[in-house]
Structure 1
Amino acid sequence: MVGDAWTWLVFFFFLIFLVAMLVFQLVCLTDLELDYINPYELGNKINGVIVPEFITYGVLCFLFLATRHLVMFLLGVPLLYYNFILYRKRHHLIDITEIYNKLTKEKTRRFIKLGYIMFILFMCLFWMIYNILEEHD
């Protein structure tokens, strides 16, 4: 099935985009820690990419479900639920008045999300390579 390899490629690019957004957030938090930017700039930069990150991840999970890749969808559901809970409780945005008190927690949260996305990325890469090799047989 030629279309399946292309589908995995689309998933791969979605995941690379998510990794880039999380790395950007981690770099911004590190810049604040090293006093290269002020909290107001940090808030503007990170808060501008959090909702697109959540939407991108939600679309990716929907695509997993729509293309009937149920294992990948089930792997993605915990982070999707976590993002939903953060959004519902309004804890998804950076509070610039409390950022110095929560800096370690925010960095840790993003590192865990990055590790989880990297796991899903490697699973996606495995299935993409598997499908490409399966087509040549």
Structure 2
Amino acid sequence: MRIVLQPLGGSTNTYWSSVFGPEVRLPNPGAMEAVVFIVSLADCCALIFLSVYFIITLSDLECDYINARACCSKLNKWIIPEMVAQCLSTMLMMVSMHWFIFLLNLPVAAWNIYRYTKVPMGNMGVFDPTEIHNRGLLKSHMKEAMIKLGYHLLCFFIYLYSMILALIND
């Protein structure tokens, strides 16, 4: 069995098929690279939406439109999906050997995991209604959400550029 790397739908010489047996056709590596960036782009769009949701919910709490318990329960249910989405994007870049983008994603993924694992046992989650107004935690959560929004916007344009480049080079 011989493995042939060529664009899908391309033709091969039938003589070699008769000599060496059936061929296994793998998709073009450039097409797989484009798929990686398309998935990362969709993932990044979801993370941008989530960052905007965090900012809106925290600003509603800051203006007393909702109470602390409702705000924290809304935000805590999105901590694990945010962490999974960020780790998915990081792992995709590692597996596809895009080392610069992997190293760009790694600190944010590590921060999300660290923040989730360091929640004290008595707390409701990362966002705790009894402590969110103490020690300026609301301001720090708001600042973190703003920084993540800027980071995800930067990553969005990097993924978009890389996807276009992969599609053109394919």
TM-score by length of 2: 0.74
- In the TM superposition, residue 14 of structure 1 has moved relative to its aligned partner by 0.5
- In the TM superposition, residue 69 of structure 1 has moved relative to its aligned partner by 1.7
Query: C-alpha separation between the residues in 2 aligned to 1:100 and 1:19?
Result: 25
- In the TM superposition, residue 51 of structure 1 has moved relative to its aligned partner by 1.3
Letter in 2 for 1:126: Y
Asked if residue 88 in structure 1 is aligned to residue 123 in structure 2, the reply is no
Asked if residue 104 in structure 1 is aligned to residue 139 in structure 2, the reply is yes
Task: For structure 2, list consecutive stretches of 5 or more residues without a partner in the other structure.
Answer: 1-29
Q: Radius of gyration: which is bigger?
A: 2
**1:124 matched residue in structure 2:** 159
Count of aligned pairs between the two proteins: 135
Structure having the larger proportion of residues in strand: 2
- In the TM superposition, residue 99 of structure 1 has moved relative to its aligned partner by 1.4
Query: C-alpha separation between the residues in 2 aligned to 1:87 and 1:48?
Result: 12
Which structure has the higher relative contact order (CA within 8 Å, separation 6+)? 1
Deviations 1:93-120 (A, max 9, x none): 1010121232111100111122112212
Query: C-alpha separation between the residues in 2 aligned to 1:17 and 1:65?
Result: 20
Query: C-alpha separation between the residues in 1 aligned to 2:36 and 2:117?
Result: 31
Structure having the larger proportion of residues in helix: 1
Q: Percent identity?
A: 30
Query: C-alpha separation between the residues in 1 aligned to 2:95 and 2:33?
Result: 13
TM-score by length of 1: 0.90
Query: C-alpha separation between the residues in 1 aligned to 2:140 and 2:35?
Result: 38
Query: C-alpha separation between the residues in 2 aligned to 1:6 and 1:66?
Result: 13
Q: RMSD over aligned Cα, in angstroms?
A: 1.5
